[in-house]
């Protein structure tokens, strides 16, 4: 079971990392449009639509990846003080009552929405129209991946309820651990305090 859970984690991670490259394309697109508009005086009416579709793709495809890393926003004011088994019960109830119905509806409606767009070969409303229907298929794709990852998280909840410990999950980018960073570069708190004395600028007249 754990091998299957980690396999889905790897799929969500790979998809998230792959579509993360759209930010590079988006950056070049915005930069080129600014240069073309204000330097060459040749604006492109289609560029804004392309930017919106790229950003929407990036945002949608990050959902399963973020859930796989357990990094979605959560109210940790009380949740963090609970035992793992209590946390798992809370998550399980919320997944069943809110997550599953919402994501199933998103995936189902997104597929219908995308098929309707494909049937009419929907395009953007601009002087130079872009095909819009490929972007519409991002909705059911992102919903399906998020649903698959959500089912994995539900299994993790049941395993934690049974064992009292959260199962391992795939690791990726982590926040900087200050203590580990200090040990890595062999810097002590005393060294930092001594350095602060040199960079601190004394204030005159209470200013």
End-to-end CA distance of the chain: 63
Tell me what pLDDT residue 105 has: 96
Tell me what pLDDT residue 133 has: 92
Residue-by-residue pLDDT tens, the chain, 207 positions: 788 888 999 999 999 999 999 999 999 999 999 999 999 999 888 998 999 999 999 999 999 999 999 888 877 778 888 899 999 999 999 999 999 999 999 999 999 999 999 999 999 888 889 999 999 999 999 999 999 999 999 999 999 999 999 988 866 666 555 566 656 666 666 666 666 666 555 555 555
Tell me what pLDDT residue 181 has: 61
Cα(74)–Cα(90) distance, integer angstroms: 12
The tally of CA atoms less than 13 A away on the side-chain side of residue 199 is 6
Tell me what pLDDT residue 80 has: 80
The ranges assigned to domains in the chain are 2-176
The burial class, CB within 10 Å (0-12 / 13-18 / 19+), for 9 is buried
């Amino acid at each position: 079971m754990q091998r299957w859970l980690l396999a889905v984690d790897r799929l969500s991670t790979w998809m998230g990392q792959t579509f993360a490259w759209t930010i590079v394309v988006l950056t070049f697109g915005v930069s080129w449009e600014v240069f073309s508009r204000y330097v060459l005086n040749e604006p492109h009416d289609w560029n804004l639509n392309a930017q919106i579709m790229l950003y929407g793709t990036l945002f949608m495809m990050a959902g399963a990846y973020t859930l796989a890393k357990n990094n979605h926003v959560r109210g940790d004011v009380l949740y963090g003080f609970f035992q793992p088994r209590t946390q798992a019960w809370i998550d399980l109830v919320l997944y069943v009552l809110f997550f599953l119905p919402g994501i199933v509806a998103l995936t189902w409606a997104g597929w219908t929405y995308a098929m309707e767009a494909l049937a009419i070969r929907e395009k953007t409303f601009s002087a130079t129209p872009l095909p819009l229907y490929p972007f519409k298929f991002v909705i059911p794709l992102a919903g399906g991946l998020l649903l698959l990852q959500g089912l994995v998280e539900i299994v993790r909840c049941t395993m934690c309820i049974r064992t009292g410990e959260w199962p391992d999950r795939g690791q990726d980018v982590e926040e900087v651990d200050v203590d580990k960073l200090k040990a890595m570069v062999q810097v002590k708190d005393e060294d930092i305090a001594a350095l602060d004395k040199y960079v601190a600028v004394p204030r005159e007249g209470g200013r």
